[in-house]
């Protein structure tokens, strides 16, 4: 008690000195083109003032004098950097102290900015509760060149007793505009990242997940917010955020009676009261912010640039073209069939062969999804010579070799489940509820974390030629509970599970920094920047049908770059939708991402086989532009018309690749015409159509030279005659 009294006395002694000095301090968080600004009020509250285009540090008048309307109680509406419980708004932070008090009142202590390197700076604003020894750090990292600002909180309990975190978000931004249009994502398995825009009205709009894992399969913790007008590609103010967290999340958009919109995002407090012991520290995940006054296109380019450098493994390295075995053979294969697929892959010019599910289990062989999961020993009946023999065979054929794992899961019919039933997630004495005939392993338990890392080690030790791992996760969590966590810590499960997963990722990446790892979660169930930084690419959806993939990849690439977007050509009719599509259409859609194949190569014969081999060679030539270039969306598939178009441009604007697709019947009177974007108007470009059938071009200007000005101001018109026509153009600078 004496410690708390002394701490409080010293704090208010310093607080009084600062107040007496009359300092109206301004705090700036800046990138090359953006500013986030906070001011210090007379009563030492940190007030959120501004987020938008960069402003001069000499423009202090507004920030020092801006007035906010008051309520009847005369309290100002000036938004604090961390809204807390005790007021009318949804709190970013709600704490219950040991004496039962659940209000919090934070005051400024100090702030500092340090330069982490030539591109990244970190600003920390330190706050303290007025009555309790509770410290909160608000931490911003600004990435100058990428125009990204991240934000998270650190809470330290310097009290003598436990405190309970009832709710703690990562970030908060208040806006005061005329109107607000929220763009967010929805969907489901094989139908991920569908886009929805809606105008916000008074009250609270919440986007959240309570699945524990596979949290992005039906929604995503990423959003764009356009103010005063609906979202536009190349104009208008747009704010955007994306939470780097792979567990339960919540985004709140609260429009109050004064017309202010309060945006906050962070860990979902659902069933997650967190007890923090004395001297304990809790750190939230990061919210990734950016802003554009020139529409949503620049938002995406900011995220893509930042992601390739800071939130993606090997973001500066070309991705290989993969043949994955799953849709080609499923669980039914042997050594001969696998080597046949490797032979065909080499013939096609593919660079990586990946052996998918079904290669493991002996007592309970993995011949279907009902057994063997968790028993990571090579199935001797299917592969008597082992995985090493297959990997060596692929290597001799000039291919790299990869393998599938699902380390978080277990079948009840497995040796692992028999040996360690205490490792399975379940709610006390209740039966574990199966989904896809499998249960989830309890990653709050360090022994389970060790098992996963050791299993990864064992798999990698099979052969030095294993250089790729497809890391899957095929179900969400229900009936949560942990035999490892104590009774009073069961509400920590949702958070501790994801922290345990990240610990596994950290250990694996520390030991295997060069391994390529694909992030797959029953498709796009873990599409977030928290997990992505450990992986080289994401599998956006199990649905490889090109028509659906136009929409899935459009939504995915709003935030995540093409280099991280696995896009595979599969057989026709498609196994998920039973829809037919030409080999050209399938390749033209997949080539706008990280190209691969998901089929039995022997099923491609005749002209299809010839086209596929040629298209793979074409992709090898153009993939640097697609994987490292700037994305410009030209026609949204969500617009009326039944067309979609986009383009990638190299950073030096010397080369571009344009993709266009038709997916509706247009009759005999409509044709596709659109303007290009992002080129240098003063440059000249030769336009050449790629992936043509029998050399027949759809554009009258094929192989002609145009100025950037012509292509951007006048555009091109295409002779599309069928419902599922598609077009790929290459632009190359000429002198």
- Asked if residues 569 and 598 have their Cβ atoms less than 8 Å apart, the reply is yes
* Tokens (6 digits) for 665: 């019947």
Residues 565, 594: Cα–Cα separation, whole Å: 6
Q: Which of 542, 630, 720, 725 is catalytic?
A: 542
- Asked if residues 517 and 471 have their Cβ atoms less than 8 Å apart, the reply is yes
**SS3 state at 218:** coil
Is 256 annotated in the active site?
A: no
Rg of the chain taking only CA atoms, in angstroms: 27
**What 8-state DSSP symbol labels residue 245?**
-
Closest CA relative to residue 38, chosen from 222, 202, 173, 180: 173
- Asked if residues 127 and 138 have their Cβ atoms less than 8 Å apart, the reply is yes
3-state secondary structure 184-196: EEECCCCCCCEEE
Neighbours of 633 (CB within 10 A): 20
The residue ranges of DSSP E strands in 406-561, in sequence order, are: 409-410, 439-440, 466-471, 516-519, 537-538
* Tokens (6 digits) for 241: 């955020």
Closest CA relative to residue 582, chosen from 592, 591, 593, 571: 571
Closest CA relative to residue 230, chosen from 198, 207, 185: 198
Residues 133, 8: Cα–Cα separation, whole Å: 7
Rounded to the nearest 5°, which phi and psi values hold at 173? -140, 125
383: Cβ contacts below 8 Å, ≥ 6 apart = 334, 335, 338, 359, 389, 390
Distances (CA, A) of 641 to 4, 186, 645, 667, 700: 67, 22, 12, 12, 22
**What 8-state DSSP symbol labels residue 95?**
E
Neighbours of 617 (CB within 10 A): 11
Residues 292, 305: Cα–Cα separation, whole Å: 14
Is 472 annotated in the active site?
A: yes
Closest CA relative to residue 212, chosen from 283, 271, 285: 271
Residues 545, 242: Cα–Cα separation, whole Å: 27
**Per 3-state DSSP, what percentage of the chain is helix, strand, and coil (rounded to 5)?**
25, 35, 45
Q: Which of 375, 472, 528, 720 is catalytic?
A: 472
| Residues catalogued as catalytic | 472, 542
């Amino acid at each position: 008690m004496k410690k708390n009294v002394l701490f409080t006395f010293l704090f208010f002694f310093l607080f009084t000195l600062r107040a007496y000095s009359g300092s109206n301090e301004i705090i700036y968080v800046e990138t090359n083109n953006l500013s986030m600004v906070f001011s210090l009020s007379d009563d030492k509250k940190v007030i959120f003032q501004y987020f938008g285009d960069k402003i001069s540090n000499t423009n202090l008048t507004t920030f020092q004098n801006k007035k906010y309307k008051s309520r009847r109680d005369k309290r100002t509406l000036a938004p604090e950097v961390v809204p807390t419980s005790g007021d009318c708004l949804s709190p970013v932070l709600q704490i219950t102290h040991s004496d039962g008090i659940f209000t919090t009142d934070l005051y400024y202590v100090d702030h500092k900015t340090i330069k982490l390197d030539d591109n990244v700076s970190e600003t920390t604003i330190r706050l303290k509760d007025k009555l309790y020894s509770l410290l909160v750090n608000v931490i911003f990292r600004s990435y100058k060149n990428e125009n990204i600002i991240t934000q998270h909180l650190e809470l330290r309990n310097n009290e003598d007793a436990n405190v309970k975190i009832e709710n703690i978000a990562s970030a908060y931004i208040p806006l005061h505009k005329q109107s607000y249009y929220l763009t967010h994502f929805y969907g489901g398995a094989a139908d991920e990242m569908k886009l929805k825009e809606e105008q916000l009205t008074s009250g609270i709009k919440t986007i959240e997940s309570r699945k524990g894992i596979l949290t992005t399969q039906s929604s995503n913790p990423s959003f764009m917010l356009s103010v005063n007008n609906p979202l536009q590609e190349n104009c208008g103010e747009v704010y955007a955020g994306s939470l780097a967290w792979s567990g339960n999340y919540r985004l709140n958009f609260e429009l109050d009676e004064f017309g202010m919109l309060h945006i906050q995002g962070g860990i979902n407090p659902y069933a997650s009261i967190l007890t923090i012991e004395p001297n304990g520290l809790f750190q939230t995940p990061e919210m990734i912010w950016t802003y554009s006054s020139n529409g949503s296109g620049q938002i995406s380019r900011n995220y893509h640039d930042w992601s390739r450098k800071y939130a993606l493994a090997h973001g500066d390295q070309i991705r290989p073209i993969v043949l994955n075995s799953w849709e080609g053979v499923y669980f039914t294969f042997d050594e001969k069939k696998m080597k046949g697929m490797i032979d065909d892959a080499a013939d096609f010019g593919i660079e990586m062969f990946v052996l998918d599910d079904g290669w493991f289990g002996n007592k309970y062989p993995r011949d279907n999804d009902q057994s063997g999961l968790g028993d990571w020993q090579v199935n001797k009946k299917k592969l008597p010579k082992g995985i090493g023999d297959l990997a060596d065979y692929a290597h001799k054929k000039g291919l790299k070799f990869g393998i599938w794992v699902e380390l978080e899961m277990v079948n009840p019919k497995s040796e692992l489940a028999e040996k360690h039933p205490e490792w399975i997630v379940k709610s006390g004495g209740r039966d574990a509820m199966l989904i896809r005939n499998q249960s989830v392993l309890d990653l709050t338990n360090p022994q389970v974390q060790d098992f996963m890392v050791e299993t990864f080690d064992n798999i990698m030790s099979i052969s030095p030629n294993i250089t790729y791992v497809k890391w899957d996760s095929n179900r969400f969590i229900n009936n949560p509970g942990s035999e490892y966590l104590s009774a009073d810590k069961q509400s920590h499960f949702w958070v501790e599970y994801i922290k345990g997963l990240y610990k596994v990722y950290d250990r694996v990446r520390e030991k295997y920094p060069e391994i390529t790892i694909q992030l797959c979660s029953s498709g796009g169930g873990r599409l977030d920047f928290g997990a992505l930084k450990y992986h080289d690419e994401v599998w956006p959806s199990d649905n490889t049908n090109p028509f659906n993939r136009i929409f899935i990849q459009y939504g995915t690439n709003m935030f995540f770059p093409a280099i991280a977007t696995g896009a595979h050509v599969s057989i026709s009719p498609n196994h998920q939708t039973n829809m037919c599509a030409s080999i050209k259409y399938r390749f033209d859609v997949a080539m706008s991402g990280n190209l691969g194949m998901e089929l039995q190569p022997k099923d491609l014969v005749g002209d299809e086989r010839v086209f596929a081999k040629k298209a793979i060679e074409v992709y090898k030539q153009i993939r640097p532009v697609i994987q490292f270039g700037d994305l410009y969306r030209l026609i949204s598939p969500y617009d009326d018309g039944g067309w979609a178009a986009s383009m990638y441009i190299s950073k030096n604007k010397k080369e571009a690749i344009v993709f266009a697709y038709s997916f509706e019947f247009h009759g005999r009177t409509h044709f596709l015409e659109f303007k290009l974007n992002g080129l240098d108007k003063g440059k000249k470009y030769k336009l050449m159509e790629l992936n043509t059938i029998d050399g027949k071009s759809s554009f009258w200007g094929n192989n002609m030279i145009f100025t950037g000005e012509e292509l951007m101001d006048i555009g091109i018109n295409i002779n599309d005659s069928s419902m599922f026509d598609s077009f790929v153009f290459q632009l190359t600078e000429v002198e």
